[in-house]
Every structure is written in structure tokens, then in C-alpha cells.
Homo-oligomer: A and B are copies of this chain.
Amino acid sequence: MSADAEPVPVSAKSPVTLREVAAVAGVSVATASKALNGQGRMTAETRERIRETARALGFRPNSLAQSLLRKRSFTVGLLTNDTYGRFSLPLMAGVSDALVDNGVSVFLCNVEDDTRLGQLHVEAMLDKRVDGIIATGKRIDRHLPVDLSNLRVPVVYAFTQPDAGAVGLVSDDAGGARLAVEHFCRLGRRRIAHVSGPESFAVVHTRAQAYRAVLEENSLPVGEPLLGAWSEAWGHEAVAKLFGKAGREGWPDAAFCGNDQIARGVIDALRERGIRVPDDVGVIGFDNWEIVAEATRPPLTSVDMNLATLGREAGLALLSLVGGQPAAPGIRKLPCRLVVRQSCGRPPGG
């Protein structure tokens, strides 16, 4: 190929139109269009001449005109209410990833929790003829503040509560919790505590239930999960509750925490009490928020929700929906994975 050697003016001052290409190549716009798109019939020589001309002129088709005609804009909207972005960002990166590879651009729409703003964004997206919408949030058990049912474009929900009959993707929180607790069991931990977030979160119950199930399956004593806040401070408090009792024999030898911040609080509090991690107590967190997990001492083993993958899958699901392939409605749960660092020790035999 000699294409790379051509002096392509990639950023010309004024866009070159198909009409100009046609004029220079001495053909009609129709022929030029067909030549560039591999349509129609013409001599190979003509086709190549037109292509060469287009390349030399730095022609790039006007997407707006194409979209207008094709009724397909190769653009989707990404709706989120996660301002802080701890969850949104990997998710968005995944979505973007999956779509860019298919030539699709992403409109970013931050709607906070503002219905008016959400409505505004959705209308703007629809006006701009997005091919579809991905809705994502910071909580699996809450709706975005905007109604996306009965839109004329497909919608995929990722990490947020889907409307009835819609396609939704969430992390498998029960599975994630199982990973953590089963890991403890394999390591020979016998008294496994669970310190989690506020009662108002659905995932708190989902994970607690999985926690109980695994303990029962392994015939281990089931402690009552300690519910509090998603904060380090709560981790400290929880340690005070768990390890405040006089008798050392009643203490847990493992703590499965609802998120990494709680886990960090737990680890710090344990150290302050002179209790060793992982020797005396193993700790596992949730979210695998690297910047936290890697800063704890020792570094924190944590459950990763694979949000980037979730985003990718959401992007691909939307794409196939846009392509007209019917997708099974309902919620699809994607597996978590356990990222093992040093806060839970090695198996006895290992």
C-alpha cells in the first residue's frame, strides 16, 4: 500500500465535500459515493481513481448528512447520576471502549438527581437522534430520576434499576460475597464476621444473605451482620463492637467488609488494638477500589465487580439492540472476581 506515503491533509481548514471529490475525479457525486462505499458497478480503474482523489483531497464524509439519510447516527447517550464517579468511571470507560471500536460516539449526560435536568438531556439526545441510551447510576437499587420507558430508541440499564421489561446488567453481588466468604473458609477461618453498609441498600441484604448461606454450607457459626455506614469511621466502630468483649476466644478471625473504606477502617482499628492482619484476623473488602485497597497495611484483598466489563457488555448489548436483534429483557448478573492481596493470609498448607 502506498496510502501511508500520501500527503493527507488530515485537518484541512475547510471540509472537502463529496461534490468536490467528484468534480476533481471527473465523475458525478453518485458515482463518487458508490466508489467510496463499494457500491454500484464501475470499472476497477474508475473506482480506484475516485478513491485516490478522495484520499489526496483528505475527504471525510459529513456524518451529519449520512445520519440524516440513514436514520442512524452512530451515537449513543450515556446517562448517569454518579457525580463522584467511583463506579461510573470504570463503567463509562468500558462502555466507551465497546462502542468506539464500532465507530459509535458517546454523549455524556450527567443528570445528578434532577428530574428536570434528566428530561432536558434525554430530549436533547433524542433530538440529536442517538441510536440508543445507556442508563447507569451509583446504586443498583435505585431508578434514575427520569423515565426512559417507551422511548423510540433502545435502552440498556447498567448498574442501576431497570424499568420493567427492559434490559439490565448488574454485578452479581451474591456471587461476589460468596467468593469472599468461601475464600476465608478455604483458608481455614472459622469465625467470620460481616461488617457492611446501611440497611437501606439492597446490596447489603443480598451480600449478607450470601454470607449466611456460605457459613451454613460450611457449618460455621453465623454471626449477625453489623450494618452501619460506608465509611472508615464505621469500620473503626465495628471493630470496637466485635473486639470489645473481654474474652479473646469470642473474637472473629476474619471480617468480610461491605466496601473497601469499611475494610480500611477495620484494618486500622485492628492495628491500633495490636491485633495482627492477616495473622490474627483476615480482612476482605468490596469494590476493589485500588487506590484504597493498595494503601491499606497490609494491602487489601477485595471483591472486584468488574465494572469495566459490565460497561463493555452494556455497550455491546445496546449495539445489538440497535442492530435490531431482540435481546431477552430482564436483569443479567455479571460475575465478580476476587483480587487477592495480603490482608487475608495464605492457606495453612500454602
Contacts and interface: CB of A to CB of B under 8 A. Distances in A.
B110 A108 contact: no
Q: Chain A contact residues (Cβ within 8 angstroms of B): what range?
A: 35 or more
A92 interface: yes
Residue of A15, A129, A291 with highest tally of chain B CB at under 10 A: A291
B62 A68 contact: yes
A171 interface: no
Contacts of A11: 126, 150-152
A89 interface: yes
A123 interface: yes
Contacts of A103: 124
A13 to B, nearest CB: 5
B108 A96 contact: yes
Contacts of A13: 152
A84 B78 contact: no
Contact of A233 (B67, B121, B295): B295
Contacts of A127: 60-63
Residue of A68, A78, A231, A261 with highest tally of chain B CB at under 10 A: A68
Interface in A313-344: none
A242 interface: no
A100 B121 contact: yes
A243 interface: no
9 contacts: A10-B123, A13-B152, A63-B127, A83-B93, A100-B124, A105-B124, A106-B107, A107-B107, A232-B295
Given A13-B152, A268-B268, 18 more contacts: A10-B123, A60-B123, A60-B126, A63-B127, A63-B128, A64-B64, A64-B67, A64-B73, A83-B93, A85-B89, A92-B108, A96-B108, A97-B110, A105-B125, A105-B128, A231-B295, A233-B295, A261-B291
